[in-house]
């Protein structure tokens, strides 16, 4: 069998990558191609089907690359240890 063994289709809250193979090399190639096309998506679910796999992706949060907030000093929290 020649050609591509995967496809992507839109669903209500994201996209799904359907891989029509159990070969690890095909799986890796499909994920590599997906990430190149859809860089701002996160895996939400993954499940096996007969002879393949479906991976459900959702859009990454807009602030996913934002830095974590820095801890506040005691003066900023009025001496409380609860932030």
Burial (CB < 10 A; 0-12, 13-18, 19+), residue 20, is middle
Residue 1: pLDDT over 90: no
Regarding pTM above 0.85, the answer is no
Instruction: Dump pLDDT digits (tens) for 22-48.
Output: 999 999 999 999 999 998 999 999 999
Q: What is the mean pLDDT of residues 2-16?
A: 88
Least confident of 14-23, 30-39, 69-78: 69-78
Contact present, 26 and 6 (Cβ < 8 Å)? yes
In this prediction, residue 75 has a pLDDT band, given cuts at 50, 70 and 90, of low
Q: How many CB atoms lie within 10 A of CB 52?
A: 17
């Amino acid at each position: 069998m020649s050609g591509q063994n995967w496809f992507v289709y839109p669903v209500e809250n994201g996209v799904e990558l359907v891989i029509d193979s159990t070969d690890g090399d095909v799986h890796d190639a499909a994920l590599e191609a997906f990430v190149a096309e859809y860089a701002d998506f996160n895996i939400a679910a993954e499940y096996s089907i007969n002879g393949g796999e479906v991976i459900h992706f959702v859009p990454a949060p807009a602030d996913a690359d934002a830095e974590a907030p820095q801890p506040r000093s005691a003066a900023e929290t009025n001496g409380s240890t609860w932030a």
